[in-house]
Amino acid sequence: MNKKELDEKIQLLREQKQQEAVKTIVANNYRGLVDIVMRYGKTKIGIDTIDKFNNDRKTSYISLTKGITGIVPKVLWVTPSRQLRDKDIPNEFKKFGKEDLLDLTKIVCWTSLHKEEGHYDLIIFDEYQCITIDSVKNIYNGKLIADHAIGLTGTPPKDYAKNYILGKLKLETIITITIDEAIEDNVVSDYRITVIKFDLDKFDTYISDSLGNKITERTQYENITKVIDVMKANHQDVSRIAGVRRINIYNSKNRMIALNKLKNYLDSKSKRGLIFTPFKKMAEKFINYFHSTSTSIHYSAFQEGKINSLALVKSGSVGHTYENIEYVVVSSPTQDKAGGTTQSWGRGLLYKEGVPLDIYFLCAKDTVEETNWLPKTLSKLDPAKIQYTTIEELIWK
């Protein structure tokens, strides 16, 4: 089967799944959560749902009024970023010949949803893992009303608070397509995961503590962890101090050393891929980078095949598609409460026949990252496809 035939086969299967999803949404009265792994065309499902909803409303109105038409539903589409709001999603409507539906659809970002008021017939919660109590407080207080609501994501949240909010909105999962199903369908590539473990620095004394003393990264981590344990025992809020510890782990000198060695190793093999970092300053340590406040020159060069690697922050994940990716490095796996880690490595899963995607996770040994965050990130992935190593073992293997 040549590439054209393979692409046509994949597209046909993708369209079949999209049609099945819309039928299920209609059967559930346009209410529920659609959990479909990346590459099945969530945006297309959302657009087709609006199209079907619009036609259903017109048909209902005609039957009740003996042929009089003119009812136009109001639809609100909530999306993560301005790029998606202003350009990408409108272009998807046009691409699928549904530009007329834009006239009845208002597109807003999750960050501004709380400002929205009034009555809508249908809300599309795109990437609903972005939901927070603040973003939907106007729904709770009755200022924003919706008769029907659909949530779309490839990375359903694992966070209790987010799922509690969804439950209060009476939104339950009505469709699930997992990554294993997508691999079987040849919609996404298979994958291999390599977890590279490193030590927090135990020897160099270059970090200043609150008293100005020079301490190691390991000592700082242990000191913060002791404070967190005491605060938890006293039922105190640890979110702020836990954030300090997370930055301590992510900013580790040895993490950056391992990341640089890994990039050099992949470059030596002429591999093409993405490196996701937790902070802008970390991304900017690489020659080619892209984040929310950078220019797109390096991003464009990567997409055009002029460079082989691109360092990213989260702005390069949701809504972005990359072709011919051979690896993705996630330098800071979290517990993935909002699906951010999965969104990152999922960027490289565009199907390539017989070629698995190499996914690399960096993890600080003997920390909460190893004992808590990483296991949750890997919880729904195939253990047989996961190996653990160090950067030295990987390079000299």
Does some domain include residue 2?
no
- 227 and 84 housed in the same domain: no
pLDDT of residue 335: 45
Rounded to 10 degrees, the C-alpha dihedral 274/280/284/289 comes to 40
Phi, psi for residue 204 in degrees, rounded to 5: -70, 130
Contacts of 373 (CB under 8 A, 6+ apart): 333, 334, 335, 336
Of residues 192, 309, 189, the one with CA closest to residue 260: 309
Two tokens at 363? 């993890």
Helix (H, G, I), strand (E, B) or coil at 4: helix
- 374 and 233 housed in the same domain: no
d(CA 228, CA 236): 9
User: In terms of residue numbers, what domain contains 71?
Assistant: 12-183
- 263 and 213 housed in the same domain: no
Does some domain include residue 272?
yes
Radius of gyration of the chain (CA): 23
d(CA 82, CA 74): 21
Does some domain include residue 27?
yes
Helix (H, G, I), strand (E, B) or coil at 389: strand
Other Cβ atoms within 10 Å of 389 Cβ, number: 14
Structural domains of the chain, count: 3
- 265 and 280 housed in the same domain: yes
- 76 and 163 housed in the same domain: yes
Does some domain include residue 58?
yes
CB 196 within 8 A of CB 257: no
Does some domain include residue 7?
no
d(CA 202, CA 254): 10
d(CA 379, CA 246): 20
pLDDT of residue 340: 55
- 275 and 295 housed in the same domain: yes
- 155 and 75 housed in the same domain: yes
Of residues 389, 319, 337, 375, the one with CA closest to residue 79: 319
Burial status of residue 346 (CB atoms within 10 A of its CB: 0-12, 13-18, 19 or more): buried
Does some domain include residue 223?
yes
- 77 and 91 housed in the same domain: yes
- The amino acid that residue 94 corresponds to is K
Q: Residue 124: which CATH number?
A: 3.40.50.300
Two tokens at 396? 């000299």
Helix (H, G, I), strand (E, B) or coil at 363: strand
- 87 and 211 housed in the same domain: no
Of 214, 231, 251, the position where a domain reaches its end is 251
Does some domain include residue 387?
yes
Distances (CA, A) of 302 to 43, 182, 324: 24, 26, 11
- 224 and 258 housed in the same domain: no
Single pTM value for the model: 0.72
| Successive 10-residue mean pLDDT values, the chain, 397 residues | 72 87 95 86 93 82 49 85 89 93 93 93 93 93 93 84 91 88 78 93 72 82 94 92 90 92 94 89 91 87 91 70 84 61 60 76 94 85 92 89
- 214 and 294 housed in the same domain: no
Helix (H, G, I), strand (E, B) or coil at 190: coil
CA atoms within 13 A on the CB side of 312: 26
Other Cβ atoms within 10 Å of 149 Cβ, number: 22
Distances (CA, A) of 2 to 5, 15, 344, 353: 5, 20, 29, 10
- 216 and 326 housed in the same domain: no
Contacts of 28 (CB under 8 A, 6+ apart): 174
Does some domain include residue 43?
yes
